[in-house]
């Protein structure tokens, strides 16, 4: 499947993110809080910019910059603080690299400021259910929007996730969110879908979603998958977060093989190798099947 996502903003009026023969690698840039001093805050921003540049050198096709943690139980960050953390980093990264920048936020004001600073994609883990002003920002700017599924909120999502049919329920959720976005003036080509691995899901739900990912391809939107170092992988191999690269690699390979269009990862260099090998082998399967039927 060939997927096009045209992302139009005032800064990049003709930006085209093309999905052709391989998925795109999205490098994660977290601007983490610094509770010590403003000096520390400046260093934190500098470190985030250096990290972003390094990820691009490692082969990132996109960057996702986020200043509010969405980990289970994480405290919300207020708007002023999120703006203070994120915008200087987006501004500096946009000057330093040419790859498209995504802002990981569910606040319309942060999204707008990041788009003004050079971002072209908004990664909204609430899928336009959080800030009522977000859909208007996306419709007006023409920015890309990631609609991610989450059961509950980051504070509550891992308390008792429950589904009768996780794949079917998320497909219905996508239908509803796409309808909402289109009704408010967002174009389908702006939309990326994400089943939200680890967001209000038990390990069995995450495994099922990855196993049946191709179920979501009929929406015709790129699929974003974030498995990097997540807890359900740690549980399978009994390893702490810093030692989950191999487990992540296996999940990335499965997601690529099942049609993921964007892989959100921390270890860009290693996961790009995993992606390239998986794509090369998958393409051979298609070619040899075609040859057999010829
Ligand atoms: N996962 C995380 C954060 N944002 N966005 C999308 N669309 N999909 C994901 O799977 C996803 C996401 C969690 O990862 P991480 O960046 O490691 O954690 P934190 O949010 O605490 O920074």
Residue 28's pLDDT band (cuts 50, 70, 90): very high
**Looking at residues 152-169, what average pLDDT do you find?**
88
Residue 227's pLDDT band (cuts 50, 70, 90): very high
Q: Cα(70) to centroid of ligand 1, in Å?
A: 6
The angle subtended at Cα 108 by Cα 102 and Cα 111, nearest 5°, is 25
Residue 35's pLDDT band (cuts 50, 70, 90): very low
Alpha helices in 184-267 (DSSP H): 203-211, 231-237, 245-257
β 16-19/24-30 pair status: unpaired
Under 8 Å between Cβ of 132 and 111: no
Ligand 1 pocket mutation pick from 25, 27, 28 by most atoms within 8 angstroms of CB:
28
How far apart CA 192 and CA 224 sit, in angstroms, is: 7
The predicted model scores a pTM of 0.92
Q: Which residue has the higher pLDDT, 59 or 152?
A: 59
Cα 184 to Cα 35, 107, 145, 276, distances in angstroms: 39, 17, 13, 37
* Res 267: pLDDT: 97
| Catalytic (active site) residue 264 | yes
Task: Report CA 210 to chain centroid distance, whole Å.
Answer: 15
Under 8 Å between Cβ of 263 and 24: yes
The angle subtended at Cα 13 by Cα 12 and Cα 16, nearest 5°, is 80
- SS3 breakdown of the chain: % helix, strand, coil, rounded to 5? 50, 15, 35
Query: What are the tens digits of pLDDT across the range 66-115?
Result: 998 887 777 788 999 999 999 999 999 999 999 999 999 999 999 999 99
Answer whether residue 191 shows pLDDT above 80: yes
Q: Cα(286) to centroid of ligand 1, in Å?
A: 32
Q: List CB contacts of 142: < 8 A, sequence separation 6 or more.
A: 6, 7, 8, 9, 187, 190
How far apart CA 110 and CA 100 sit, in angstroms, is: 17
| Catalytic (active site) residue 230 | yes
How far apart CA 38 and CA 42 sit, in angstroms, is: 6
């Amino acid at each position: 499947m060939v997927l096009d996502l045209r992302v139009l903003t005032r800064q990049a009026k003709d930006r085209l993110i093309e999905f052709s023969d391989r998925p795109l690698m999205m490098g994660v840039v977290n601007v983490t809080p610094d509770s010590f001093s403003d000096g520390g805050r400046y260093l934190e921003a500098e470190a985030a910019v250096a990290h972003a540049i390094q990820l691009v050198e490692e082969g990132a096709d996109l960057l996702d910059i986020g200043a509010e943690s969405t980990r289970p139980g994480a405290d919300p960050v207020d708007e002023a603080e999120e703006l203070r953390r994120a915008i200087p980093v987006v501004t500096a990264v946009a000057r330093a690299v040419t790859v498209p920048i995504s802002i990981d936020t569910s606040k319309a004001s942060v999204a707008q400021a990041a788009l003004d600073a050079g971002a072209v994609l908004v990664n909204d883990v609430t899928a336009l259910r959080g800030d009522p002003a977000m859909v208007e920002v996306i419709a007006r700017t023409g920015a890309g929007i990631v609609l991610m599924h989450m059961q509950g909120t980051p504070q509550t999502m891992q308390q008792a996730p429950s589904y009768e049919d996780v794949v079917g329920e998320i497909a219905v959720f996508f239908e509803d969110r796409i309808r909402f976005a289109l009704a408010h003036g967002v174009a389908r080509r702006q939309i990326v879908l994400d089943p939200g691995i680890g967001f209000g899901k038990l390990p069995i739900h995450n495994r099922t979603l990855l196993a049946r990912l191709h179920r979501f391809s009929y929406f015709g939107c790129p699929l974003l998958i974030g498995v990097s170092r997540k807890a359900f992988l740690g549980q399978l191999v009994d390893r702490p977060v810093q030692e989950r690269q191999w487990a992540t690699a296996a999940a990335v390979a499965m997601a690529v093989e099942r049609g993921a269009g964007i892989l959100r990862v921390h270890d860009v260099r290693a996961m790009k190798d995993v992606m390239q090998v998986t794509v090369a082998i998958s393409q051979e399967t298609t070619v040899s099947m075609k040859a057999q039927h010829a």
